[in-house]
Structures are given as C-alpha cells and as structure tokens.
Structure 1
Amino acid sequence: MLKRSLLTAALVAGLATPALAHRGHAGLTVIEIDQGSGAVSVTHRFAAHDVEPALPSIAPEAQPSLDDPRAVADLEAHLAARFRMSVDGAAVAVSRTDTVLAGDNIRVVFGGETADRDVQAVTVDLDFFPGVHDDQEQQVNVRVGGVTRTVVFRPGSAAQTVSF
C-alpha cells in the first residue's frame, strides 16, 4: 500500500511539474554599441509560446501562429514601433535586419548607427504586447565598450537610462 501511495504521489508530482515550470512571461533584449564604428545592434529574444497569445492583438488579420508570414511581419512591425532608444539624448533609428524562428525561440534583430563614439548614457523605452500578459518582463542588457548594464521593463514601465 505504501508503495502504491508513493507511486501515485510521484505521478501526480510529475504531471504538475510542467504547469509549474513556466509561470512568468519574459523576453530579453540585447543592445550592443560599437564605439569604433558607431554600429548599433538590437536583438529581441522571446519564447514563441509567450508571443503567440499576443498575435490576435498585434496581427489581427493574420492567423494567430508564427507559421503565418503575415503574423511574423506584424510582430516585426510591433517590435519596431514599440522600441525606442537614444544615445546621449540623440534618438537612434533602427531597422530590422534579421528574424530567426527556431522551435520555441524567436530572435528579431535590428540595426542602426550612432554618431556618438563617446557613449555616456543610453535611454531605452519599450512596451511589448500591452494588455496581453500582465506579468511580462523584458530584460534589457546594454553593452558599450565591454561593459554591460541591465534594466528590466514591466507593463507600464517608463523609459530607463543606463550610464557608462
């Protein structure tokens, strides 16, 4: 009887584990600024299972799946429209250079350029997938000259500045 109870408890725990494994919704943005060339790279990474629930609101004319090229294009447009950055007070325009969909991983890369080679401060403002996940967190790592600074955005967060 004890053996059966332990086996039952182990099976129940095994079934509950996947549900407990992913409680939050998060993404990662990495901004890299090459002070020598002024090149700016912005890479946004997400899990597909966090993005697909947002597709009905950001891509209403597309299928709510990343298998639909229109949904992917609308996702790219959403990221472009809802991300802003400046270097030492001067806005930096970025445009999409690459999108990689690999299983549950999504990577959308943007590129731009800054004339500022002596970066002192980078300000970032973003608000991805508003109204979809109230626990959405977007970690942003900003790298300049081998130094990385990190900020975290949640729904309704204001722009944040990191200093170098």
Structure 2
Amino acid sequence: MTAPAAAHQLKAAISTVLFNERTGDIEVMHRFYSHDAEHAVGLITGRGADLVGDVGDRMRFAVYVHERFALTGLGTELAPLELVGAELDGDYLWVYERTAQVEGLNGLAMRFDALRELWPSQVNTVNVEQGGQVRTLVFDADDTVLRLEF
C-alpha cells in the first residue's frame, strides 16, 4: 500500500463531556478529523463540501452530529442539548454542545452515532470528566446506548 492511500485509515472521533462547576453547565466537545467531516458532508448532501471556506458546511456537519449524539440523565431528567457551534482547528473540526447541570443526577446514558452509518469501522470515544475523575465510553460495532453511573 502506498503512503497516500494509507495516510488516513483510522475512522475515529473523540468527545469530552465536562461538568463545568464554574458555569453550572455540562459542556460537550466533539473532535472529528476535518477530512472525515468534509467527506461526510459531501456524502450527506450529495455535493462537494468545503469546511474551510464554507461556514454553512461546518454548521451542516455540526447539526448532523447534534442529531446523532444524545445525553439522558439517570436519576433525573436533563434539558435537551443546545448546539453551541463548530470551528476548525488545524486538522480537526470541533462541535460544541451544552446543557445545564441538575441536582440528583446519578449518571448518564449516551447515544453517539455520528459517522457510524457511513463507515461501520467508525469508533466514537467519549471521555466524561466529573468530580476530578475521567471515565471513558467507547462506541463501536453495534453499540447504541452506553451508560455511566456516578
């Protein structure tokens, strides 16, 4: 296999769910390879995509991610996630979401399907930072909803 063909074989995204004590929010930050995001926008829209030059394409991808990521509270209900925005940073496209923290939250149930219908080998990893601890959930193969208890 030549170097260009092997240059980008890993289909993976990394997200962080952060309990921000200062703001009282649960902040969600998704990081995708911009190459994957641009390719996905092209497949979804049926036309070429330009994440660098077209803010609309970045937001189309952000909405796509927002519709495929869900947080459900265990022990109490969370408000729906709000899509905050998206930005390019080097080789990555970041998508940001938020919701308010609530009392009585005993854990989270998560769904993270972004890109998995396009590429079955896609792996979506979520690091949950809460109370000085980081715990990780990995969505691959047939995972639909994963739970994390506090």
In structure 1, distance between residues paired with 2:137 and 2:147: 8
Deviations 1:102-132 (A, max 9, x none): 232111111110222x542111111102432
Deviations 1:76-115 (A, max 9, x none): 1111111110222523422122322123211111111022
Q: Matches of residues 139-150 of structure 1 in structure 2 within 5 Å?
A: 139-150=125-136
Cα pair distance change 1:149/1:41, threshold 3 Å:
same
Contact 2:11 2:119 in 1 (8 A): yes
Deviations 1:16-64 (A, max 9, x none): 445445322100010012357641100000111111221123334x642
Partner SS, residue 72 of structure 1: helix
In structure 2, distance between residues paired with 1:59 and 1:40: 31
In structure 2, distance between residues paired with 1:57 and 1:155: 21
Partner SS, residue 38 of structure 2: helix
Partner SS, residue 91 of structure 1: coil
Contact 1:35 1:119 in 2 (8 A): no
Contact 2:40 2:118 in 1 (8 A): yes
* Structure 2 residue ranges without an equivalent (≥5): none
Larger Rg belongs to: 1
1:43 to 23, 29, 43: 29
Aligned length: 148
Matched-pair identity in %: 24
* Structure 1 residue ranges without an equivalent (≥5): 1-14
RMSD, aligned CA: 2.3
2:11 to 25, 42, 45: 25
TM-score, normalised via structure 1 length: 0.78
